[in-house]
Structure 1
Amino acid sequence: MCLAIPGEVLEILPDRPDLAKVEVSGVRRNINISLLGRPPEPGDWILIHVGFALSTIDESEAREVLEFLEGLGQSYTDEIDALQQSRIE
């Protein structure tokens, strides 16, 4: 199963404005933000699927989605493991 997961934007990479450093459940990865209408800012929450930001969401919605996803158990764990192994540079 492939899930879209909320992540918090930590920074926009200065040398790559199409990439943002994002944290998802303790995992930090570079995510492509070029599909968003406007670039996010640090502290914004985005919905991530296969290394791309699909949309910006508010923090309360992000927390609710994370809580729900954590309740899925193994599917969520598998998605976090895949995110941890991914590399976008």
Structure 2
Amino acid sequence: MCLSIPSKVVKIDKESSIATVDTMGVQREASLALIGDEELQVGDFVLLHIGFVMKKIDEQEALESLEIYRDIIDRMNEDDKRMAILGEDSL
């Protein structure tokens, strides 16, 4: 099962259609190719899935989801935590 992770937009490069997003303290680049015509601004929350911004979401919804993710991650061992936050290529 795959999950979309709420992430905060910290930078937008409109020329390359790439956003830099912060996911639980980890910054990464994400493609805006699938977002359509929805206008994004720095500070917006989005759902991130496999390197693509899927859609803009409400800040309250994002913060509630991130709290649930934190609770789940707190119960994991260290290797699983790293993989969940940074991705499998980080091991």
Q: Do the two structures share a fold, i.e. TM-score over 0.5?
A: yes
| Structure 1 residues 14 and 84, CA gap change in structure 2 (3 angstroms) | farther
Contact 2:20–2:29 (Cα < 8 Å) also in 1 = yes
1:3 maps to which residue? 3
2:19 maps to which residue? 20
TM-score, normalization by structure 2: 0.78
Contact 1:27–1:83 (Cα < 8 Å) also in 2 = no
TM-score, normalization by structure 1: 0.79
Q: Determine helix, strand or coil for the equivalent of 1:46.
A: strand
Structure 1 segments of 4 or more deviating over 6 A?
Answer: none
Relative CO higher for 1 or 2, CA cutoff 8 Å, sep ≥ 6? 1
Contact 1:19–1:33 (Cα < 8 Å) also in 2 = yes
Question: Highest CA radius of gyration, 1 or 2?
Answer: 2
Q: Which runs of 5+ in 2 are unaligned?
A: none
